[in-house]
């Protein structure tokens, strides 16, 4: 039987190159760390891949590589973020997330205690969301060729009958909604990097949004489109949808929910909340007639309590995104041109 | 519409942090590089994920992170390797690979010309295999926090009715087969790293094995188990299967196909071909009565021309792997204990 001379030193041990070699050390890392935390029957088969029951309906597949720095931040860590981020990508298509895979790229010398903390956090996030991690892979790179740990998660889900969310559904007159306060994740990361402390700690909003999406689709099955405003923030989502639908968008600054601490931190850090990443929020488009019902459905869900209607889709051959400012003027909300927040997710 | 001031400089340009920011530069990289090469209707939808037709039967999911160094080597590169490796993981379960996702972690400063070469190679490998890349993600890390490019691919496939390949199928008396010459990939990488030249260049065997698996299953539907001997080589596969099945294994050194150049290079590099990675080979277990039919099916396929029966499964409560040497003795073939070949895939 597969036995190891001594158990993995999860207190003081470190990742070394042998943990990626395909030999005994790698088998031990998988047995004593990954398999123990991710514990489920499918993973326990330890094949080259996972065998899963048939899924009825169209499939959805989404992937995200996570390189957030720092690895641990107020409100979360790279582990739960990697689970939530990919679940959300599947959910934004209107699909029900079923399974996750996880590929780890570890840097030689990374403390096993930190790795365990991250793996435990992933496992807890997957369990809470009801989406198991069914297969994975581990590679190790030399010190100085990585940055602690990078995690790529891929999600597979099924699309319920009749659901069809996409940019081309968006019509002139559609209302634009957001599910809550914007900017929390990006500001939590940036204030940690800059070593800023505020009166209250700003926490990342990292969360799995699939049950919110279910509630929204139950209320308004004809929802037009969904997207989570991660990298590039709300501005990126609005511009992508404007580009893809060929319509203009107008939002109202006063209607956009932003915590006062986040607004203050953004001023201090020179950030615009419209461009700051969120990890537990979504943007939704629906027909004007459905907007109140959708808003009510969102507000009845714990992750949509602060949902708001922030604007609408207008006819505009240039497909511009504009914002009515608090002072009554209008300004363009362009794509982010340079780099605002590197390694935010 | 989404327009860019100037096209991506694919000749002299380099990856910068803005290519991972979620803004315009990232959109341009996706449009002008990834989407152009991976061109398919599903990817063209540019959602948060890919919507795929219903798949009938059990699903299979496999993932692999690729960190091979160097990125370009005799016979391949990280791009085609990332496609082949994950297709093979799906195929080793007996499943038909259908779709791939690709997550890129790019290092700031990486030449766009090299990235294009890698992406074009991935696209060609996916096209040749008939397994499209339907969704992806791009992240950028600062210079010195990565190593050019890491690629995590995830594959989804469907399992044909009645197929059930797994270690616990393996029975005493089963024959052990390999599909061809062992050690090519690992030796190609190592000789490139060590700057060794041999009379003939040893090429990586990187290849997608799913059509070979189809031919094998058509011939012997009751095949017991399959695995590709990548990291850790043949020795790792034999030990994993011995451990999981609870049986011993005996292989005959003289029966194991190894090119003479590879054997010579292994001597020079201090490597044992049993532990060297392959990227286009598989190990198969079947009932003794089926072995000749299986061997014939393998040899009729271009990727199984040099297939051989190399040993059998024996009763052994210790589940040891042993080898009858060319000199008539027997030696233990243990797991690799330390690190033999870092970053081989």
pLDDT at B1: 43
Residue position matching structure tokens 């017991």 = B224
As a whole number, mean pLDDT of residues A60-89 equals: 97
* Burial of A73 (C-beta count, 10 Å sphere; 0-12/13-18/19+): buried
Query: Which residue in B282, B248, B312 sits closest to B165, CA to CA?
Result: B282
* Tokens linked to A182: 């914007």
Residues B21 and A341: beta-carbon distance below 8 Å: yes
Name A178's bridge partners: A283, A308
Give the CA radius of gyration of chain B. 21
* Tokens linked to A333: 């909300």
Per-residue pLDDT tens over the stretch B270-292: 899 999 999 999 999 999 999 99
Three state DSSP letters for chain B: CCCCCCCCCCCCCECCHHHHCCCHHHHHHHHHHHHHHHCCHHHHCCCCCEEECCCCCEEEEEEEEECCCCCEECCEEHHHHHHHHHHHHHHHCCCEEEEEEEEEEEECCCEHHHHHHHHHHHHHHHHHHCCCEEEEEEEEECCCCCCCEEEEEEEEEEECCCCCCCHHHCCCCCEEEECCCCCHHHHHHHHHHCCCCCCCCCCCCCCCCHHHHHHHHHHCCCCCEEECCCCCHHHHHHHHHHHHHCCEEEEEHHHCCCCHHHHHHHHHHCCCHHHCCCCCCCEEEECHHHHHHHHHHHHCCHHHCCCEEEEEEECCCCCCEEEECCCCCEEECCCCCCCCCCCCC
Q: Is B99 on the interface with A (CB under 8 A)?
A: yes
Cβ neighbours around B315 below 10 Å, total: 10
Residues B187 and B245: beta-carbon distance below 8 Å: no
As a whole number, mean pLDDT of residues A71-89 equals: 97
| Domain extents in chain A | 17-158, 167-332
3-state SS, residue A211: helix
* CA–CA separation, B76 and B189 (whole Å): 10
* CA–CA separation, B161 and B164 (whole Å): 9
Per-residue pLDDT tens over the stretch A215-263: 999 999 999 999 999 999 999 999 999 999 999 999 999 999 999 999 9
Q: What does each C-alpha distance from B209 to A73, B46, B140, B206, B345 come to in angstroms? A: 43, 30, 32, 9, 16
3-state SS, residue A86: helix
Is there a contact between B21 and A336 if contact means CB atoms under 8 Å apart? yes
Q: Is the pLDDT of residue B73 over 80?
A: yes
Domains A17-158 and A167-332 share a fold: no
Size of interface A-B (CB pairs under 8 A): 299
As a whole number, mean pLDDT of residues B145-150 equals: 98
Q: Is A89 on the interface with B (CB under 8 A)?
A: yes
Q: Is A135 on the interface with B (CB under 8 A)?
A: yes
Q: Is A45 on the interface with B (CB under 8 A)?
A: yes
pLDDT level of residue B338 (50, 70, 90 thresholds): low
Per-residue pLDDT tens over the stretch B156-168: 999 999 999 999 9
Cβ neighbors of A31 (< 8 A, separation 6 or more) are: A2
Homologous superfamily in CATH for domain A17-158:
PurM-like, N-terminal domain (3.30.1330.10)
Per-residue pLDDT tens over the stretch B301-323: 999 999 999 999 999 999 999 99
B167-332, CATH topology level:
Phosphoribosyl-aminoimidazole Synthetase; Chain A, domain 2 (3.90.650)
**Domain B17-159 classification at class level:** alpha beta
Q: Is A230 on the interface with B (CB under 8 A)?
A: yes
Q: Is the pLDDT of residue B48 over 90?
A: no
Chain A partners within 8 Å of B341 (Cβ): 21
B194 alpha-carbon distance from chain centroid: 23
Is there a contact between A336 and B61 if contact means CB atoms under 8 Å apart? no
Can you list the alpha helix ranges (DSSP code H) found in chain A? 24-29, 36-38, 41-44, 78-92, 112-129, 184-193, 210-219, 233-245, 260-269, 291-299
As a whole number, mean pLDDT of residues A158-184 equals: 96
* CA–CA separation, A48 and A45 (whole Å): 9
pLDDT level of residue B44 (50, 70, 90 thresholds): confident
Chain B partners within 8 Å of A102 (Cβ): 63
pLDDT at A196: 78
């Amino acid at each position: 039987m597969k036995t190891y001379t001594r158990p993995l030193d999860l207190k003081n041990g470190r990742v070394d190159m042998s943990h990626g070699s395909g030999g005994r050390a790698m088998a031990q890392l998988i047995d004593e760390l990954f398999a123990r935390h991710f514990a489920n029957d499918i993973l326990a088969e330890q094949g080259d891949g996972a065998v899963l029951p048939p899924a009825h309906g169209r499939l959805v597949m989404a992937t995200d590589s996570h390189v957030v720095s720092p690895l641990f931040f107020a409100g979360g860590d790279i582990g739960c973020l990697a689970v939530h981020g990919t679940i959300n990508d599947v959910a934004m298509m209107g699909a029900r997330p079923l399974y996750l895979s996880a590929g780890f790229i570890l840097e030689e010398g990374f403390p096993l205690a930190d790795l365990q903390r991250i793996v435990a956090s992933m496992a807890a996030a997957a369990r809470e969301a009801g989406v198991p991690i069914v297969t994975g892979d581990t590679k190790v790179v030399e010190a100085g060729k990585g940055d602690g740990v990078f995690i790529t998660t891929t999600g597979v889900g099924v699309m319920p009958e009749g659901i069809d969310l996409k940019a081309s559904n968006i019509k002139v007159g559609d209302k634009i909604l957001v599910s809550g306060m914007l900017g929390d994740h990006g500001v939590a990361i940036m204030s940690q990097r800059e070593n800023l402390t505020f009166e209250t700690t700003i926490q990342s909003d990292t969360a799995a949004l699939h049950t919110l999406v279910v509630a929204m689709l139950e209320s308004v099955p004809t929802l037009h489109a969904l997207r989570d405003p991660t990298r590039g923030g709300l501005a990126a989502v609005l511009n992508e949808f404007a580009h893809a639908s060929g319509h203009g968008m107008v939002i109202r600054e006063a209607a956009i929910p932003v915590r006062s601490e986040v607004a203050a931190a953004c001023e201090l850090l020179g950030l615009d909340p419209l461009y700051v990443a969120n990890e537990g929020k979504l943007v939704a488009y629906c027909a004007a007639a459905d907007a109140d019902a959708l808003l009510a459905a969102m507000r009845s869900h714990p992750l949509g309590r602060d949902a708001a209607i922030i604007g609408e889709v207008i006819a505009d051959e240039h497909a511009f995104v504009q914002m009515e400012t608090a002072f009554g003027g209008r300004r363009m909300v362009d794509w982010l041109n340079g780099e605002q927040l590197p390694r935010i997710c």
